[in-house]
A and B are shown apart, each in its own frame.
Chain A
């Protein structure tokens, strides 16, 4: 298919530590198509975050190949092909919300007039219009994380990589943000890589769920979602949803049995 956005083949990453080598990733094969919403799920140490960091060129693989938008991760980073959302919002306290969103745009040398327009556009997308001139401490945790998503979206990258973006938020806010994220994904048609360790979150959001297991970090199962694209929150009580969640749980358990 032409619209493969991310392709990893035999991807390995070994950290050399004092206690010997740690296989963070071993022989990972994965393709992600354009417009997919892919969740990476697994216990800690399974390499899900590492895989995302490899895609973002924050880690260098020790073996295998990986392609992002048909380029090496470094090329992709240089071309600003992706936006990355970290676990913490990481907004600069000395910049207003619009100042924070402008930050990557300033770094990329986008003209001022265009910056202003992009900020307005993206604030509207995450429902934060009217908060341009507020400082981060004046916003709630959920709003801060939305601002950080806006910042990752501002420069119109095709890919959005999210590393447990809602991990630090409470469940009510989390549900709300999940719903908004789906809405945003439908509007922008971006390819999203999403790391989580919540099964309902993964099932609710994804078109494809990648189940991973630790020591060595590897992909144990790739589950294609059968849920429709329109997903109201109460879809989580449907038998289809529960069935998918069950399959993910089984996959995770299988990974653990290997471990024992």
Chain B
């Protein structure tokens, strides 16, 4: 065991200990609303140490087991990472709840002062975790808000349209302006359209840049310049200009998201198309291959790994572009419009719900590209 391993162990153990204590403290507070502070702290400490030593022992044990077991290391490794991930998530949630108390306590105290009553610690905690417009809503509040604006909203709409034909009712529910699913769908469609535009444009520009010296010298600087302009400043102008030529709705948002997503594709594809070395190009020359043949048989397949790396960045940028577009054209709805709406009314819950849904959307999009990458690479024989 060298020093770095020892240091790592100490740091991990410290983080584990502190976070276990926090978790235990909240667990105790949650269970007992009243009681002596000293007893609570003691109970929290005991519980914290117990959780810490249990988890720590389990992690250390499974770590050594995984390292030593040569027969079937895989399931054990999976279990180990599952526990580790679970633990990290728990720590994040614990910190989140702790910060909710810190950030929301002023409003709770304000209410108490105005009402002329004293707040015990447990009452403070209960209040900070259930405010209507908290500075930082808790995870369960956000989850509740998401459920309210999707499932509950759909159920309500379903009831209200009672008597209409079945298919009409379904389209009513899906088109409900209050439903977060519809907003998410709007954002997703703008993102996808923009992503397709952006990727197409990016690939075309990269092909031009690689094959044409003049384009290499003239286009690349503009591509880079385009990304230095803040998109928030540019978005309204793009929308106004496109409206003037009669384009509205989905297209302007898709254009903004294409504007953000074409850049990584250009950069990645230029590098990918140039990745064949001089020997491979000489080899093509000895066969008297045409430029088109070199492109289709060598440059394009060689650029595939680079393309997928770019696409992962591009799809996330696309989503950001669509949301920025929706902040500007908010009348059509979408997750960006929901965030703006939440901002107007100081409804942090709406903002957070939209944020979390957007993050989930991004995760799904990026992992879909990752899946496509794995399948393509496997089929092309890149995977060893």
Contacts and interface: CB of A to CB of B under 8 A. Distances in A.
A58 B286 contact: yes
Contacts of A14: none
A86 B282 contact: yes
9 contacts: A58-B282, A80-B287, A80-B288, A90-B280, A94-B380, A94-B381, A94-B382, A95-B381, A107-B297
Contacts of A87: 279
B151 interface: no
A51 interface: no
A104 interface: yes
B301 A90 contact: no
A95 B288 CA distance: 20
Contacts of A86: 279, 282-283
Interface string B292-314: 01000110011010000000000
A92 interface: yes
B67 interface: no
Contacts of B297: 103, 106-107
Interface in A60-85: 77-78, 80, 82-84
B111 interface: no
Given A94-B302, A104-B287, A108-B287, 8 more contacts: A58-B282, A58-B285, A77-B286, A77-B288, A80-B288, A82-B286, A83-B286, A135-B381
Q: How large is the interface on B (under 10, 10 to 19, 20 to 34, 35 or more residues)?
A: 20 to 34
B5 interface: no
A84 B283 contact: yes
Contacts of A4: none
Nearest to A56: B286
Q: How large is the interface on A (under 10, 10 to 19, 20 to 34, 35 or more residues)?
A: 20 to 34
B115 to A, nearest CB: 72
B112 interface: no
Interface in A97-113: 103-104, 106-108
A239 interface: no
Contacts of B282: 58, 84, 86
Contacts of B224: none
Contact of A94 (B280, B284, B301): B301
A137 B283 CA distance: 20
Nearest to B384: A137
Contacts of B12: none
Contact of A107 (B289, B301, B381): B289
Interface in A16-42: none
Contacts of A199: none
